Every structure is written in structure tokens, then in C-alpha cells.
Amino acid sequence: MLAPATAGPQSLSAQAASADAASAVQPGQLIDSPPTPAAPHGALVAVTGVQSTADGKVAVTTRPATLPELLGGTSTNLRSAVSPSSFEVHPQIGGVKVVTDFGATSGQGSVSGSLGLSADATVPLPDGSSAKLSGSVSLHPAIDFSYQGGLGLIDPQQARVGFTLGAHADWRVSANLSASTGPVRIPLATYSASPVVMVGPLPVVINLAFTLSADVSADGTVTLDAEQAYDGQWGVHSDYVKGPGWTTTTDPGSSTVSPLRLDLRGSASAKAGLLAEGSIALYDTVGVKASIEPYLRAAVNGSVVLDGTSTTPTVNGTAALYGGLDINGALMARLAILGTPILEADLPFLAFHREWPLVSVGAGQSPVPLVNWTALSAGLFDDNRSAYLKTRPDWDPRALKASCPDGTRLIGLSHGGDNGLCTDVTKPDLWDAGHAYVVDHGGTYVTTDWAPGYAKAQCPAGSVLTGYSRDGRTMGALCAKSAAPLGTSTRTLWFDKGDNRPTAAAGGDFSYGFAKGQCANDEVAAGLAYTQPWWQLWAARPYALLCQKLA
């Protein structure tokens, strides 16, 4: 077996003493090696010279090869969860334990399970104090790789490289913080895997690595004891198209940040988050680097206590709680292995920052009821937020699907990215007490052609959209029976050419980088129109919403 070096003109030795071994390797031959002790990231090289040595071995010189040389005109489009069993996990501090659930593997090759860890650790801070970290984290990483070969061996027609990270965490941080402490990042564990994906009969090595850290900071003096839950799914990817070149996309997906317990005393804005810093590489060439951080931020002047037995905090002074999400990253300039033109510098992602209020309250006041806005993402996994439907049979087997939290309705969809937006604005708790619902795929309830030339999925009269699904070239509408009368006025909302949302629309950019449509706050979505775009004939995409006035 050949063992390539990793840089420069390469000289290899094969442990073979016969003339047959020398003839088995020829100049121009490609060597596509899976990960080995000598090449832990795999190797893709082209043989430039072969020479027998005096001791009967074979000396081979090589150069780095490119995927177009290996794959030629082959095409593939892979979105695949990475099996937890393929990861190496290394705790970075004492008190962190790996509790990975390997789950089950189906006959179709899909994987379940998660990368988990638990923590119960006390770590020193730069100012001489300490922070206590405890809780559990469960991660669901997936890779995103596509390739469409060209006619020659120079560069592909299209390519994509990226990754998605789903997560659930129950996390607690206790510390005395001050502005002088500065932002503190505490590495918890490192993760690495080298899955080999098949492109037709040819293997391609993809290396995924990331570090999970606790991130805490304050801009004043504060005593913090916060336990929060994080749920979400986020991703980054870079796309190449021959001619226009490279673009980068951040997918903020869906995020839920929920304070479970909180004891905050002082005068400061304090932040506690979980930061994942990751990279994806083809063989040993890093393609994309990114950082993803969901967080809880509390601004307090006085004290605020949330003891876990009530959703109403006890406040002496003023306090406000916020959930947030930060995503940053870049496409590496030296991604030569794809055979695409070399960039002059790294191509950064558009930094994504979103923060939303959770609660705002002062002494002697009742909390102001907040309007709920929930982003959905069903690009790689189901995103069912309805507690009721989780107890029922799968409402659209075989399809990727998303449903709104109980008490909210679907108000927005994106043209790409499989993202949606739910809310209870204007009319909360719209689902009737009996939880009646139907699923439509073929336009069973369409009475007028409100989107000529497009397939439709529509709710029956008296029902509202609370979810959506996609199974290849078909989309479905999840419809909940309304507990309140609906109006009769409807309109068609197109969003395939760009954003079509109300002025100063709430809910944030729920599908960053994609065109999206959003009905008005005094409307419900009652149907969706879809077809297959010319650039993605295998997948249906929504083009329009049917918006209907509330009564």
C-alpha cells in the first residue's frame, strides 16, 4: 500500500520487492486513499514517476490531484448525517464525559443517535474567580457535498461543500463576572470524523472537525446562575458555479433559547452561550470554516430570579432576557482540490446576528405577553414543533416536514432552504380544542386557481396552515381546524423573485440568503403553490402563499 506524504513533490515507498509491484504503479495513475495512519485525512494524488530502488522497493513521486481528475463527468448531490460512531471525541477539561448515543442504523443506510456529553466542572477564570459548568449537550452533525462534473479535467460545472449542525442542550453556568474578566471561552470537547462518501463507484474522503466551547461574558459586575435550554439546526455551505464562481451561504435554520432557571444580581448585560467552531475538508484541504453560537443574554439592574416552578420571574429593579444566534465563517482561498480557480483571499460568509426578546419586566409589573415567532427548518431533518403531533402517527411518512408549535400558525415560507416561520401574532391559540387536522398534497380543497400554472396544496375552508412537507417533487400542507372564524378576503403572495414581506416584518430573517414570503399579521396562510425550479428539477420549491384575512 502506498503511503503519501502531505506536501510538495512527493516521494513514496511501497513495501513490495517484485517487478510486478513496480509495474502495478504507472505515471499518470491516481491514488485515492482512505484515511490511514500515514495519511490520517486520506489522500488524493497523481503519480508522476516510478523508480525501482536498490533494496527492491519502489520509489514513487506524486503531485496533488483534483476531484475533476478523479470524478470526471460524474455528478452527485449528498446530504448525509454523520454516524456518531465515526467520531473521535476528546474532552478538554476535567468533569466532561462523553455519553454518545449510537442509535440504530437502518437497512437504507440512514443513521440515528447523537454525539453527547455531560459536564460537571469548575474552571478558573482570568480574574482569579471560577465558573461552574454543568448540564448535557446532544449534537447531530451532517455533511453537505455536491458535484457536477464538466467535460474536461479542469473544473466542475457546479460544486457545494458545507455542513449542518443540529443541537439540543440543557446547560447551566454559575459565575461572578465583571467587565474586567473579559469574554471567556472554555473549550469543552473536540470532535473529528473522516467519513468516506461514494460518488458512483469512487470514494471521496470528507473530514469534519469542530470544537465545542462554553462562552460567557459581562459588561459590568454581576452574579450569574443561569440554566437554559437550546434547540436548533444551523448550517453553512459554499457553492461554485462555472462562470460566476464561488458564493457563500449561512443558513440560520431554527433556534429556540429558553431560560429554565435564573438568578442574576448586579448591574450588567451578561451572556452565556455554547459555541461550535467547525471546519469541513476534502481530504487534507480545508474548504469551509464556521462558528455557530446560540446564546442567552440577560440585562439586569437589580435582581431577577426564575426558580423553575413558574414562567414569571421575580424582579427587584428591571430586567430583560434575550435569545440570540451568531454565525460567522469563510470559504478557504486554497481549495484547489476541487479544481476551481484559486481565490485571492478567503471568501467570508455574511455574518449572521439575530437577537430576540424573551421577556421584559420591572418591579411590581406583570410580564408583558410576548408574541411568539418560531423559525422552522426541514432541509435535512424533520422539524416538528407541535407537541400534540409528536404523540400521533407520522402525518406525512417519507417526506421531510416541519410543524409549528401548538398555538401558533404558519405565516411565512422561503423559496429555498426548506424554512418556514410560525407565529401567534394578532390571534393566539387558533387551533381548535379537538386538534382536528388534515394534510393535502394534490389541491383537494382548491376552489379557484389562485396561482395559474403551479401545483397547489391548500387547506379546507375554516382551516389554517400550521406546517409543510416536501417529498421530492411534491409538497404537502398541514392544516389545523381554526377555533375562530376566518375572513373571506384572500390574496396570492409571490416570493420566488425576492423577499415579499410586510414593512418592518417581525420574526427576523428566518431564511437567510433565500427569497421568502410572509403574510400580514392580520392574515393566516391557507395554501401554498409550488413547482420545480430549472436549477433543481428533482425538488419542489414553494413560489407563492395564499394569504387569508382573519375575521
Burial label, 219 (beta-carbon count in 10 A; 0-12, 13-18, 19+): middle
Strand duo 75-81 + 130-148: pairing: antiparallel
Cell numbers 423577499 correspond to 499
* C-alpha angle 258-262-263 in degrees, rounded to nearest 5: 165
Please say whether the beta carbons of 74 and 81 come within 8 A: no
pLDDT at residue 112 in the model: 44
Closest CA to 195 of 282, 104, 103, 114: 282
**Contact between 485 and 447 (Cβ < 8 Å):** no
Cβ-count burial 501-519 (b if 16+ within 10 Å, e if not):
beeebebbbbbbbbbbbbb
Q: Which amino acid is at 452?
A: P
Neighbour count for residue 214 (Cβ, 10 Å): 23
Return the residue matching grid coordinates 431554527.
Answer: 254
Q: Taking Cα atoms as reference points, which of 185, 173, 310 lies closest to residue 230?
A: 173
What per-residue string of b and e applies to 470-500 under the rule 16 or more CB within 10 Å gives b?
bbeebbbbbbbbbeeebeeebebbbbbeeeb
- How many CB atoms lie under 10 A from the CB of residue 19? 11
In the chain, % helix, strand, coil (3-state, to 5) comes to: 5, 60, 40
Note down pLDDT in tens along the chain; length 551 residues: 333 333 333 334 334 344 555 566 788 888 888 888 878 888 888 888 888 877 778 788 888 888 788 888 888 888 888 888 889 999 999 999 988 665 543 333 333 457 888 999 999 888 788 889 999 998 889 888 888 887 655 678 888 888 888 888 998 999 888 877 778 889 999 999 988 888 777 788 888 998 999 988 888 888 888 888 888 888 888 888 887 788 887 777 777 888 888 888 888 888 889 999 988 888 877 678 888 888 888 888 888 888 777 666 777 888 788 888 888 888 776 567 676 666 656 777 767 777 777 765 554 444 445 678 888 888 878 888 898 998 899 999 989 999 998 989 999 999 987 899 999 998 888 999 899 999 999 889 999 999 999 999 999 999 999 999 999 889 999 999 999 999 999 999 999 999 999 988 888 788 877 899 999 999 999 999 999 887 777 789 999 999 999 98
Euclidean distance between CA atoms 416 and 160, whole angstroms: 15
Separation between Cα atoms, residue 282 and residue 447, nearest integer Å: 51
Size of the chain in residues: 551
- Which pLDDT score is estimated for 420? 94
The predicted structure's pLDDT at residue 359: 64
Distance CA 104, CA 113 (A): 7
Pairing of strands 523-531, 455-458: antiparallel
- Distance, CA of 360 to CA of 197 (rounded, Å): 49
DSSP state letters, 471-538:
ETTEEEEEEEEBSS-EEEEEEEEE-SSS-B--TT-SS--TTTTS-EEE--TTEEEEEEEEE--TT-TT
Please name every residue paired with 439 in a beta bridge, in sequence order, or none if there are none: 478
Report the predicted TM-score, pTM, of the whole model to 2 decimal places. 0.63
Burial class (CB in 10 A: 0-12, 13-18, 19+), 314: middle
Rounded Cα distance between 203 and 195, Å, is 10
C-alpha distances in angstroms, 255 versus 55, 139, 166, 272, 414? 62, 14, 10, 15, 16
292 φ, ψ to 5°? -130, 125
CB atoms near residue 382 (< 10 Å): 13
Question: Locate cell 456518531: which residue?
Answer: 84
Pick from 104, 12, 14: which is nearest to 62 by CA? 12
The answer to whether the CB of 176 falls within 8 A of the CB of 217 is: no
Instruction: Give phi and psi for 180, each to the nearest 5.
Output: -70, -20
pLDDT at 92: 93
SS3 string of 350-389?
A: CCEEEEEEEEEEECCCCCCCCCCEEEEECCCCCEECCCCH
